[in-house]
Amino acid sequence: MSGKIVRIAELEIYPAQIDPYRALLAEEIEASVDNEPGVLMLHAVAEKERPEQVRILEVYADQKAYEAHLRTPHFLKYKEHTADMVKSLRVYSRKGISSEPSGHELDHCGLDEGEACG
């Protein structure tokens, strides 16, 4: 299968676990975009009034890049350490309508509204 893979993850984090979860997610995002050329973008946001509601937009170069990402040590560490922090998880695969940003322009955007990307 060729073409970009776009996924949207909707997570609900246990309220007592929000800060540790955010730290682990930020670490995983940084490792992914720094070390995996097939990870085109990972962007996480939390709802302002309900910070336990987290959304992650993931864009991969292709199916092989996505599958490789799932086997990386940093992703496996993230999954293991956050397993008991996540109350619910839904993942949707989507097809892009317009062209996504190339490179890593948006990779390090924070979870808080107004945080700078860079």
Would residue 110 count as lying in a domain?
no
* Domain carrying residue 79: 5-94
Q: Give me the chain's average pLDDT, please.
A: 86
Please tell me whether the overall predicted TM-score, pTM, comes out greater than 0.85 for this model: no
pLDDT, tens digit, for every residue of 46-90?
A: 999 999 999 999 999 999 999 999 999 999 999 999 999 999 999
Would residue 116 count as lying in a domain?
no
Would residue 100 count as lying in a domain?
no
Would residue 102 count as lying in a domain?
no
3-state secondary structure at position 102: coil
Would residue 85 count as lying in a domain?
yes
Would residue 37 count as lying in a domain?
yes
Q: What's the confidence (pLDDT) of residue 35?
A: 97
DSSP 8-state secondary structure symbol assigned to residue 115: P
Would residue 65 count as lying in a domain?
yes
Where residue 45 sits, what CATH number does that domain have? Answer: 3.30.70.100
CA 16 centroid distance within chain: 21
Number of domains in the chain: 1
**CA 82/CA 26 separation, integer angstroms:** 12
**CA 50/CA 80 separation, integer angstroms:** 24
Span 38-50, mean pLDDT? Answer: 96
